[in-house]
Amino acid sequence: AIRQRADAFVQEKLGGALQIRFTGDYWNVARGNEVVGRDQLMSVLGAFALLTPLIGMFLRSAKLTLICLPPNIVPLMAALGLMGFAGYDLRTGTSIILSIALGVTVDMTTHFLTRVREEWLLDGDYPLAIRRALLGTGWGIASSTLTLVLGFLAYLVPPFQSFHDVGVLAGWTFLVALAANLLLAPALVLYLRPFGEGPRSAVA
């Protein structure tokens, strides 16, 4: 925006007689942040474009694929919200958290939904299937996620601000991802009832 206003000023006031160039650390940092932000957006959109067909292929269900999307979007929004609220700069270290969180969350969601489907096939009861999945796969998801959170919180030990930002951001994002998969995903299954109404019904 600064470059555009400067070019417009030269054209209007000076008739385009000068050619201007911006230099200095501030300009280089601003340009770098612009590139990082654009590349981060493209990487996240590209990850969704690649992962969504794979999820659909693994789960073999259009409804389950749609159910996967909200629990995977919520952690990303929470990470961006924390970055804005806490004033974390968009750097290489903080930007990779979104891609890492997306991969971890997709893993959680597909494991949970696969286990729910297996449990539902036993008796066709959605509440019981979700309860059994939470007591089984849910414990595994929770323990692995908490291990990841503790591992990233170890970044708070070194006296380096970039490490602190990455540790806090990663820990927060994984906790939100865990909550989304243990609370939001079961609620979506109960509401959408993706397996039909009886045991061994055809999955939509």
Task: Encode pLDDT of 134-155 as tens digits.
Answer: 999 999 999 999 999 999 888 8
CA Rg value for the chain: 23
Of 11-25, 27-41, 58-72, 111-125, the least confident? 27-41
Q: Which residue did the predictor score with more confidence, 183 or 91?
A: 183
Is pLDDT of 56 > 80? Answer: no
Judged on CB neighbours under 10 Å (0-12, 13-18, 19+), 36 is middle
Of 34-43, 68-77, 96-105, 186-195, the least confident? 34-43
Q: What is the mean pLDDT of residues 111-116?
A: 92
DSSP character string of 142-189: HHHHHHHHHHHHGGGSSS-HHHHHHHHHHHHHHHHHHHIIIIIHHHHH
Residue 204 is predicted with a pLDDT of 41
Band the pLDDT of 54: cuts 50, 70, 90: confident
CB 64 within 8 A of CB 113: yes
User: Which token pair is 112?
Assistant: 């949970």
In angstroms, the CA 95 to CA 111 distance is 26
- Give percent of the chain above pLDDT 90: 28
In angstroms, the CA 163 to CA 169 distance is 10
Q: Which residue did the predictor score with more confidence, 27 or 164?
A: 164
In angstroms, the CA 77 to CA 61 distance is 25
Residue 57 is predicted with a pLDDT of 76
pLDDT in tens, 77-98: 898 888 888 887 766 667 777 7
In angstroms, the CA 9 to CA 7 distance is 5
Q: Which residue did the predictor score with more confidence, 149 or 26?
A: 149
CB 51 within 8 A of CB 106: yes
Q: Which amino acid is at 8?
A: A
CB 79 within 8 A of CB 99: no
Band the pLDDT of 176: cuts 50, 70, 90: very high
